[in-house]
Amino acid sequence: MSLIYSLYVINKSGGLIYSRDFEPSAKLDLNDTLRLASIWHSLHAIASQLSPAPGCGGIELLQAESFDLHCLQAPTGTKFLLMVEPQCPQVTALLGRIYELYSDFVMKNPFYEVEQVIKCELFDEAVDLAVKRYPLMLLAAPQQALVLGPLGA
Amino acid sequence: MPPGPRPVPQLEQINAEIFTLTYGSIVRQLIADFEDLDEVNKQLEKMGYNIGVRLVDEFLAKSKQGRCSSFREAAEVVARQALPMFLNVSAAVTNWSADGTECSLVLTDNPLADFVELPDEYRSLRYSNLLPGVIRGGLEMVNMEVDCRFVQDMLKGADCYELRLRLKEHKDEQYPFKDDD
């Protein structure tokens, strides 16, 4: 049972360019994933325009009963989405890590075409490893993990 | 105001000579292929642009740099953070134009050209022209269209490298809500 359900990457025009599931029971089919990506892209844009707060950067977190959806938008417009178990801490740090991996294994791959679908095995492996190590990340930040203890139990 | 110098993230280091020599052989090969120095300058800039478009993500991911509020801040970040992170040199930002759309990045050291002596017949070659391309590509990805070019080159006898940076358009507001019409 993985705490992290799925990772999606959306390019700056709203197309899904990467999706990976870590929890077989939380898997969506491809059409739903594509739909989710483009709807999220639009909602994100609408939200940042509607927001009364100046300089709003869009939706960062959507909490639902059965999952949390965390979103990181890079300043270049690429969005990273993680579906995780409700109340997971430190997901922002994991998203930051995934952005780093993307800059290393995707953007530096000379055969990757910018803005196109990501098919990079090294990136897959690195992401898998980062997700596998996510529980260790929580241990490294003890106070937060302790707060979550009773909730997770 | 621009942030003070923040710690530069440590990247995996490689031998500087491998880098310098690789760059040198690329420039030689381009000269051999194109036989026209203006074309070589253009190609180097284009290669730099393609690098910048991709490299900017690495910079943003690893420096944890957020959105810059102004061109002035962006120029400082390029000079004080991006250049140290990737080239291990830093630059001074000077000569601001009155309207704040033009400035100079002044470098006193340039690892691309460590061992280079420019022969007279190559006077019109802008040897390090990759660099302005990288800056243009990188800034374009964060919605700033800039012109970037060398105005002073130590290989041509100047006492520093000076890159002139000119903001053409700042598309902050429209993006990413471009209306495709």
- Whether residue B9 lies inside any domain: the answer is no
Check if the beta carbon of residue A6 is closer than 8 Å to that of residue A82: yes
């390029």: which residue's tokens? B78
Beta-ladder partners of B103: B165
When CB atoms are compared, the residue of A75, A99, A107 closest to B54 is A107
- Whether residue B95 lies inside any domain: the answer is yes
Q: Could you report the per-residue pLDDT of A43-99, keeping only the tens digit for each?
A: 999 998 888 888 788 899 999 999 999 999 999 999 999 999 999 999 999 999 999
Helix (H, G, I), strand (E, B) or coil at A4: strand
- Please list every residue in chain A whose beta carbon sits closer than 8 Å to the beta carbon of residue B58: 100, 103-104, 107-108
- Please list every residue in chain B whose beta carbon sits closer than 8 Å to the beta carbon of residue A55: 67
CA distance B171 to B141: 10
Percent of chain B with pLDDT over 70: 90
CA distance B14 to B63: 19
CA distance B10 to B46: 28
Q: What are phi and psi of A84, to 5 degrees?
A: -135, 170
- Whether residue A146 lies inside any domain: the answer is no
Please give the residue range of the domain that contains residue B92: 16-116+126-170
- Please list every residue in chain A whose beta carbon sits closer than 8 Å to the beta carbon of residue B60: 74-76, 99, 103
We report the CATH number of the domain holding residue B107 as: 3.30.1380.20
Q: Is A32 on the interface with B (CB under 8 A)?
A: no
Ramachandran category for residue B107: left, alpha or beta (phi over 0 → left; psi -120 to 50 → alpha)? beta
Report in angstroms the alpha-carbon separations of B134 from A38, A62, B42, B47.
31, 36, 13, 8
Q: What's this model's pTM, rounded to 2 decimal places?
A: 0.86
When CB atoms are compared, the residue of B62, B142, B177 closest to A75 is B142
Residue B175 has pLDDT above 80, yes or no: no
Q: Could you report the per-residue pLDDT of B134-161, keeping only the tens digit for each?
A: 999 999 999 899 999 999 999 998 999 9
Q: What ipTM was reported for this prediction? A: 0.84
B16 vs chain A: nearest CA distance in angstroms? 19
Domain count within chain A: 1
Are A77 and B55 in contact (CB < 8 Å)? no
Q: State the pLDDT at residue A143.
A: 53
For residues B120-125, average pLDDT:
92
Tokens in use for A36? 């989710």
Radius of gyration of chain B (CA): 17
Please give the residue range of the domain that contains residue A122: 4-140
Tokens in use for A63? 């909490």
A57-65 CB contacts, 8 Å cutoff, 24+ apart:
A57/B67, A60/A92
CA distance B91 to B85: 12
- Whether residue A117 lies inside any domain: the answer is yes
When CB atoms are compared, the residue of A12, A55, A103 closest to B61 is A103
A 87-116 residues with CB < 8 A to B: 96, 99-100, 102-104, 107-108, 114
Sign of torsion over alpha carbons B78, B81, B87, B91: positive
- Whether residue A22 lies inside any domain: the answer is yes
For the beta carbon of residue A15, count every other beta carbon within 10 angstroms.
15
Q: Could you report the per-residue pLDDT of A88-134, keeping only the tens digit for each?
A: 999 999 999 999 999 999 999 999 999 999 999 999 999 999 999 99
Q: Could you report the per-residue pLDDT of B52-105, keeping only the tens digit for each?
A: 999 999 999 999 888 888 899 999 999 999 999 999 999 999 999 999 899 999
- Whether residue A131 lies inside any domain: the answer is yes
We report the CATH number of the domain holding residue A120 as: 3.30.450.70
- Whether residue A151 lies inside any domain: the answer is no
What is the maximum alpha-carbon separation in chain B?
51
- Whether residue A81 lies inside any domain: the answer is yes
- Whether residue B61 lies inside any domain: the answer is yes
Nearest CA in chain B to A56: B67
Interface test with B, best of A10, A51, A107, A123 (most B CBs within 10 A): A107
Domain count within chain B: 1
